[in-house]
Structure 1
Amino acid sequence: MRLSSMADYAVVTMVAAARHCGCARVSAAQIADETGLPVPTVQKLVSRLTAAGLLRSSRGVGGGIKLARPPAAITVADIVEAMEGPIALTACVEQGRHDCTLEDVCLLRPHWPQVNAALRGALAQVALTQLVEEPQ
C-alpha cells in the first residue's frame, strides 16, 4: 500500500501546522516555505483539511491556519481519510462497487473489512504529536 502524494503532503502540512503549537496561526505561504511544497498545493490541502474539520482557516489580518483540535487528538488515519476517503485496501468492499471480475466467486471478500479495520486501527494509533517529536 502506498499513500497518494496528496495524502502524504497532507500529513506533512499537518505536522508543520502542529509544530506551531496548534494554537498560533500560520500562513499557507509559511507552511509552503517550511515544507518545500508549492503554495498552491498547500492552499488546496488547507481547503480539504479545513473541510474535514482538521484545520481552521481565517482570512485577513491576523488570519491563517491552525489545528482545529489538539495534535494528540488528530491521527494519521484522520488525515488520510480527509484526503482519500475511507481507508481500504480493496475497492470491492465499497457500497455500490461491482467492478471486480472475481466478485461472485471470491472467498476473501467477506474478510476484507477485517483487514481494512486493522489497517485503519494501526494508522489511528499514530497521533500527530508523535510525528512532531524528534526521532530518537
Structure 2
Amino acid sequence: MRLSSLADYAVVMMRAASRHCGAARVSATDLAQETGIPLPTAQKLVSLLTRAGLIKSVRGTGGGITLARPAAAISLAEIIEAVEGPIAMTSCVESGRHDCALEGSCAVQPHWGVVNEAVRGALGGVSLASLSSAAPALPRSAPLAVSGALS
C-alpha cells in the first residue's frame, strides 16, 4: 500500500503552509519553491485542497493561501482524501461498488470495513500540527484492534 506522489506532495505542501500560519498569505509559487514541488503540481494541489475546504485561496494582489482551520484541526486522512478520494482498502469497502468476482462467496469481505476504519482512524489521528513538530507524535487515538477480524 503506497500513497500517490500527489497525495504525498499535498501533505508536504500543507505542512509548509502550516508553518506560515498567522503570517500573511503565502503563494503557491512560494510553497513550490520552499518544498521543491513543481509549480503546476502545487497549483493543482491548491485547487484540490481548496475544494476540500482545507485551505482558503485568494487570487490577485495581496492574495495567496492560508489554512482554512488550525493545523491541529486538520488530519492526515483529510489531506489524503482531498487528493485520493475516500480511503478504501478494497473496492468492496466503497459503497455502491459491486465489481469483485468473489462477491457473494467471499468470507473476508464482511471484515474489510473494520480494517478500513482502523487505517482511516490511524490517519485521522495524526494532525497537521503534529507533522510540523520536531519529533513524530503518536496518533490522538489508538487504532481499532483488528486481531482475529479476518478469521
Deviates more, 1:91-100 or 1:60-69: 91-100
Using a 3 Å threshold, how does the CA distance of structure 1 residues 111 and 22 change in structure 2: closer, same or farther?
A: farther
1:5-54: per-residue Cα shift (whole Å, max 9, x none)? 11111101100100112553100000000110100000000000000000
1:131 aligns with 2:117: no
Q: Sequence identity, in percent?
A: 65
CA contact (8 A) 2:93 2:116 kept: no
Uncovered stretches (5+) of structure 1, i.e. residues with no partner: none
1:31 aligns with 2:55: no
Q: Per chain length, whose mean CA-contact separation is higher, i.e. which structure has more relative contact order (CA < 8 Å, sep 6+)? A: 1
Q: Which residue identity does 1:102 align to in structure 2?
A: L
Determine the structure 1 residue equivalent to 2:108: 108
Moved segments of 4+, more than 3 Å:
none
Determine the structure 2 residue equivalent to 1:61: 61
Deviates more, 1:17-26 or 1:4-13: 17-26
Q: How does 1:1-136 map to 2 (within 5 A)?
A: 1-21=1-21, 23-135=23-135
Aligned residues: 136
Deviation at 1:55, TM superposition (A): 0.4
Distance 2:22 2:47 in 1: 17
> Normalized against structure 1, the TM-score is what?
0.95
Q: Which residue identity does 1:109 align to in structure 2?
A: Q
Distance 2:35 2:12 in 1: 7
1:43-87: per-residue Cα shift (whole Å, max 9, x none)? 000000000000000011110001000000001011011111111
Deviates more, 1:51-60 or 1:19-28: 19-28
Q: Which residue identity does 1:98 align to in structure 2?
A: H
Distance 1:125 1:106 in 2: 30
Aligned partner of residue 107 in structure 2, secondary structure = coil
Uncovered stretches (5+) of structure 2, i.e. residues with no partner: 137-151
CA contact (8 A) 1:22 1:70 kept: no
Distance 1:107 1:79 in 2: 32
